[in-house]
Amino acid sequence: MKLRRVLIANRGEIALRIIRTCERLGIETVLAVSAADRDSVPARRADRIVCIGPAPSHASYLNVTAVIDAARQVGAEAIHPGYGFLSENAALASACAASGIVFIGPTVAQLAAVGDKLTARRHALDAGLPLVPGGAAASLEEARTLAESIGFPVLIKAVAGGGGRGMQRVESRAELESAIDRSIAEARAAFGDGRVYLERYVAAGRHVEVQVLGDGERVIHLGTRDCSIQRRYQKLIEEAPAPLLAAAMREAIESAAVAFAAHLAYRGLGTVEMLLDCERDCFYFLEMNARIQVEHPVTEAICGLDLVAEQIAVAEGRRLNITQDDVRFDGHAIECRINAEDWSRDFQPSPGRVDVAAFAVGAGIRVDTHVEAGVEIPPFYDSLMAKIIVHGATRAAALGRLKHALRYSTLHGVATTLPLHRAIIDDPTFAAGGMHTGYLEKFLAAHVPRPASAAASGGRS
Amino acid sequence: MQLDDEDVRAILQLLDASTFDELQIETDRFNLILRRGDGAWTRESRTLETPRESSGAAYGPGAHAPGAHAPGAERAAPIAAPAAAPVAAPGGPGAESARLEAVRTPLPGTFYRSPKPGAAPFVDVGTRVERDTVVAIVETMKLMNAVYAGCAGRVAEICATDATLVEQQAVLMRIDPEVP
């Protein structure tokens, strides 16, 4: 079945990214927008828009009924959920099935299998993947016993969690009780599900993930990405392939990811996240993200595929038209996320009007953004403004292009993370590659500029 | 069709061989400026198309003013507050409020009087507060920011409506400060 009209239930740069591929494929786009996004750049670029509710996400982008109603009203044959919002929501996928609408994503059962962290761990075990030592902690007693057996420090995570919310590091037995209570309360408030589990805290770890693609029968991988540069579990810089990995380790990680997805008979695009334990020289399964990721362009850069087009092809019921042997990797790619945040003020959000938006252009430089001069960054949604992606024959060549691209890109009107990225890529540790997940915390401790003035001027620059 | 990065690179190749340092292209749909400075090219673009809204949607056009987004026209700020929920205006010192201390939002965002839906508000008119008492939260870009009283005293007035957008520096409440 060839899709002719797709409802895009998202906003910002990813909405624009999806529109671009649909346009190329001759698919009509209808963008579901909140009242705050009626005049956004993606709204102007889409063939049509349909308003699904007022500005706050819970009343619009997170409203399953409004999204389904909108798809019905405009006669869309499919819904592309992008990332975040309802992208991994089994209720939306079920509602689509009930309404005869194609959900561009995995099956309801697959969403359920990976959406709950404990279920995902069980599937990983069944598929033969190594797991971080840990498990469920239904009571304080259970948590104590478990923590003693795996050893402190431990991480408490929310079973229904994501994006680092409800996650806590516990250093000792004495801290465990209050930390468990706090995590359960946070998890309940954020996800409506208070279940938590414990994991060994890996002190020297790298976040390495594998892009997988399946058609329900066959699964292939599109290589690794390293996303170790994180702040409060939010990724800031990603690269592909993961640098400084021994060939045997890379192959083991890639095969494990394929084994996990194949075990689920996975359909669509997904990412299997692994934690590399650098001290023990081994890796563990962390979780699977059943959607397109923010950082997908670095994978596109090294394998030459359009991942949104691949998602659409699978959603149309096609078989993968490439085999693992057809996938060829070329060079190295790095992505910087430019957020509307003031890194000198503990990453305080900086919504407001953008006065100047100029981006570097040139060979090996790609900028995915919905931001132009005059655009308003609303306070209702996340702070991503642009992704600057560079590609080069080697990591050093990519880094050279990144330096150029960051230097010649300008955003005025709101505070952004551009200056932070410029500082990071000048750091010799970053240039060497293979940083641990603790890298950014240490970098910030050494490099955060002292605030020029404490006056509450709103953090504009 | 829109202009993508590849189109821009193709244009750049032509320009690179020329002596021009700036190219501006404007059509009904977009405005593109390519500039050369310091040996590097940069791009600035504006999308000039007007959104085409399907009628009969789940949520009607409401505050959408036709014609306001014509090319070249000053763009209306897309932050729309729900009609029933007025945006709190930055407060100037009035006669009565001169004695009162204004509590302003640290950031634009959604103002909440209580820690979670259904919970009791942090403070009410008449509540005794200390300098570091949390009196509200403002949610900005998915982050919850605590708002502190800023001075000791009693809450005299609550100026913003719960769960509505407050703009930069808006007055959320006023405190009757304690005379030391």
pLDDT recorded at residue A186:
77
A146 and A291 part of one domain: no
- CATH 2.40.50.100 assigned to B101-177: yes
Do A178 and A225 lie in one domain? The reply is: no
Nearest residue of A to residue B39, measured between CA atoms: A408
Chain B residues close to A367, C-beta within 8 Å: 5
Q: What is the pLDDT of residue A288?
A: 96
Q: Supply the pLDDT for residue B90.
A: 46
pLDDT at A26 over 50: yes
Is A122 inside any structural domain? no
The total number of structural domains that make up chain A: 3
Could you report the per-residue pLDDT of A248-305, keeping only the tens digit for each?
Answer: 999 999 999 999 999 999 999 999 999 999 999 999 999 999 999 999 999 999 999 9
For the cut 90, the answer to whether the pLDDT of residue B179 exceeds it is no
Please report where in the chains the tokens 């890194």 appear, as a residue.
A343
Q: Where are the domains of chain B?
A: 5-47, 101-177
Q: Is B14 on the interface with A (CB under 8 A)?
A: no
Instruction: Extract long-range pairs of A229-233: CB within 8 Å, 24+ residues apart.
Output: A229/A424, A229/A430, A229/A435, A229/A439, A229/A440, A230/A437, A230/A440, A231/A347, A231/A440, A231/A441, A231/A444, A232/A164, A233/A163, A233/A164, A233/A167
> Which residues contact residue A256 at a Cβ distance below 8 angstroms, ignoring those fewer than 6 apart?
A128, A129, A130, A210, A272, A274, A283, A285
Closest Cα in chain A to B84: A54
Q: Is residue A111 part of a domain?
A: no
pLDDT of A455 > 70? The answer is no
Is it the case that residue B84 has pLDDT exceeding 50? no
Out of A23, A56, A351, the one facing B140 most closely (by C-beta) is A351
Using CB atoms, pick whichever of A30, A47, A376 lies closest to residue B79. Answer: A376
Q: What is the pLDDT of residue A314?
A: 98
* Residues 91-150 (B) with a CB less than 8 A from some CB of A: 104, 106-110, 116, 139-143
- Read off the CATH number of the domain in which A342 is found: 3.30.470.20
Residues A230 and A299 in one domain: yes
Q: Residue A277 has which token pair?
A: 């334990």
pLDDT confidence of residue B48: 93
Structural domain for A64, as ranges: 5-104
Task: Kindly state whether residues A327 and A257 are assigned to the same domain.
Answer: yes
Q: Do A231 and A314 share a structural domain?
A: yes
Quick check: B73 contacting A, CB < 8 Å? no
- Whether residue A455 is contained in a domain is answered as no
pLDDT at A171: 93
Least confident window among A9-18, A207-216, B106-115: B106-115
Q: Is the pLDDT of residue B161 over 50?
A: yes
Taking CB atoms and an 8 Å limit, are B53 and A38 in contact across chains? yes
Query: Catalytic amino acids of A?
Result: 291
Q: Does the interface predicted TM-score (ipTM) exceed 0.95?
A: no
Residues A230 and A373 in one domain: yes
Q: Do A407 and B40 touch (CB under 8 A)?
A: yes
Please check whether residue A453 lies inside any domain of the structure.
Answer: no
What is the reported pLDDT for A162? 67
Count of H-run helices and E-run strands, chain B:
1, 11
